[in-house]
A and B are shown apart, each in its own frame.
Chain A
Amino acid sequence: MLVKHRANILKLVSALIVFTAWEIAGRVPVSFAFPTFFESLAAFWALLIDGTMFTAYAETLKPLVIGILISAFFGIGIGLFVGLSRSFDWLVSPIFIVMQTAPLAALIPLLVMAYGIGLTSKVFVVCIMAMPVIVLNTGGAVRNTPSNLIEMGEAFLGSRIQIIMKIILPSAFPIIFAGLRLGVSAGFIGAILSELKITPTGVGDIITYSRSIADYPSMYAAIASIIILAVLFLNVLERIENKLAQGSRKPSALD
């Protein structure tokens, strides 16, 4: 319990240091376009009160949620085959490695030409950001299943499907979930990027619009809100993971 409290206190201290630095930097000021922490907080509050923030997120979350669901489903599926088959790995992994390293902002005009400026293009951007890390993590985790466990499954007459479902996937689970978390953070970046680069909607619209009218506190409030939401989302994901993993990975005094 003590350790847990200490962790929370340290997190709070860390946040305080960042906010203080922000406030000081805003007061100096480092740039006339850089608002103080309290100005941004006030703008955040205003956006929350008049409902702008909620309607904006209703818009932004659409491509984000669709993109992440697609990436998770196909990413884990493709990753499983990548991990199981060497030839499939060689066939498919390069595509995702290219996807991961490609300068996405430069590719967006191409996507817009192909799929227009609507939801499809935005979902694509989210998928391009989120899918590679999910595929590559899943593939690696599946490939690295301890061979003695697979041998055990064979010795006790498990079928190929049983070995995949009951041994390989549970064994890969923690790393698949880590990939999922990274994919979700990347997806957030993709969603915002698409709103800035394709058509300004949702939170991207708040950012673009506030910048154009030099309302910098609102702009930074919008950016901060994305970070907060992403952190909250990742926390939820972690909770789900702990729930699914049951008691098996709790550290123990005997270990």
Chain B
Amino acid sequence: MTKSTDNAVTVRNVYKNYGKTEALRDLSLDFPRGQLTSLLGPSGCGKTTLLKIIAGLLPATSGEILVNGEAVKAPGPDRAFVFQDFALMPWASVMRNVAFGLELRGVVKSERESIAEKYIREVGLTGFENSYPHELSGGMRQRVGLARALSVDAQVLLMDEPFSAVDEQTRRKFQEDLLGLVKNENKTFIFVTHSIEEAVYVSDQIAILLPRPSRVMEIIRPSGFRDKEVDSIRRDPEYLDIVDRIWASLRSYVE
């Protein structure tokens, strides 16, 4: 496997307490540049908490987050977030929602709209620029959320269970598209999911988290099927093996 040891994001000895409850305990994890890393685990294992700490939306109780070698404590232009519940503004058109990250950065209207236009095309929403979120299906709404995150051109894309609120068919299409995105965009993806199949399907690296308090149990790097066609991955023996293996180690933690 050809991989550099270069990490876009490093999490070092992060603790997070909510009052007396320990949500994360001494968690350390590396996220290799240009790859997709999944945070996988049962609910309550703190995977979304970790993602929001990396995003700078939640403060860590102690420990360090390094993005490109520099410690971060707040949201920055190097990271963009895709929300589980889309977080679209219902009063704004698709165009304004997609361009909103650029609008907040003070990019002039004509420029930000031409950038947004490009990503609206890339996620397949051409023709819907002037629609409003309530006129779109769940899957299309998440495409808007994805285009918004791509528009600000951050090196690290943080995705919080982005496909959990869309139907199964749309989800599969999204997963295929995501593989293309990882290949073509040269960005680092951090992807939270509770679906074992989804994690194995899309990831270069899977970090399995265990709950209460959260810690990394195991890191798995699928290698054999990453370069295969998208539609043959699910029949690959290694894919099936890894799915089985993860389930075997997680099943005891599911109540």
Contact = CB atoms under 8 A, between A and B. Distances in A.
B199 to A, nearest CB: 23
B85 A148 contact: yes
Nearest to B100: A156
A166 B104 contact: yes
A147 to B, nearest CB: 10
Given A252-B134, A255-B134, A155 B75 contact: yes
Contact of B89 (A155, A170, A246, A255): A170
B83 A157 contact: no
Nearest to A146: B87
Contact of A156 (B93, B132, B136, B152): B152
B11 to A, nearest CB: 18
B137 interface: yes
B135 interface: yes
A155 B137 CA distance: 24
Given A162-B104, A248-B132, A155 B91 contact: no
A245 interface: yes
A151 B57 contact: yes
Given A162-B104, A166-B103, A248-B92, A255 B80 contact: no
Interface residues of A, number: 26
B101 A156 contact: yes
Secondary structure class of chain B's binding surface, majority of residues: loop
A108 B49 CA distance: 56
B44 interface: no
A171 interface: yes
A171 B87 CA distance: 12
Nearest to A170: B91
Nearest to A152: B87
A103 interface: no
A158 interface: yes
Nearest to B55: A155
Interface in B29-88: 55-57, 75-77, 79-81, 83, 85, 87
B85 to A, nearest CB: 6
A164 to B, nearest CB: 12
A149 B88 CA distance: 7
A45 to B, nearest CB: 45
Interface string A229-252: 000000000000000011111001
A248 B90 contact: yes
Interface residues of B, number: 29
Contacts of A248: 90-93, 132, 134
B105 interface: yes
B135 A157 contact: no
B52 to A, nearest CB: 8
Given A152-B81, A252-B135, A254-B136, A157 B89 contact: no
A246 B91 CA distance: 8
A109 interface: no
B98 to A, nearest CB: 11
Given A156-B101, A248-B132, A148 B77 contact: no
Given A148-B85, A166-B104, A252-B134, A156 B91 contact: no
Contacts of A151: 57, 83, 87
Contact of A155 (B81, B90, B105): B81
A149 B75 contact: no
A200 interface: no
Contacts of A246: 91
Given A155-B75, A156-B100, A254 B87 contact: no
B87 A148 contact: yes
Contacts of A157: 75-77, 101, 104-105
Contact of B57 (A154, A159, A170, A171): A154
Interface string B93-137: 100000011011100000000000000000000000000101111
Q: Which 3 A-B pairs have CB atoms at the shortest separation, nearest pair first?
A: A152-B87, A156-B101, A155-B81
Interface of A: 146, 148-149, 151-159, 162, 166-167, 170-171, 173, 245-249, 252, 254-255
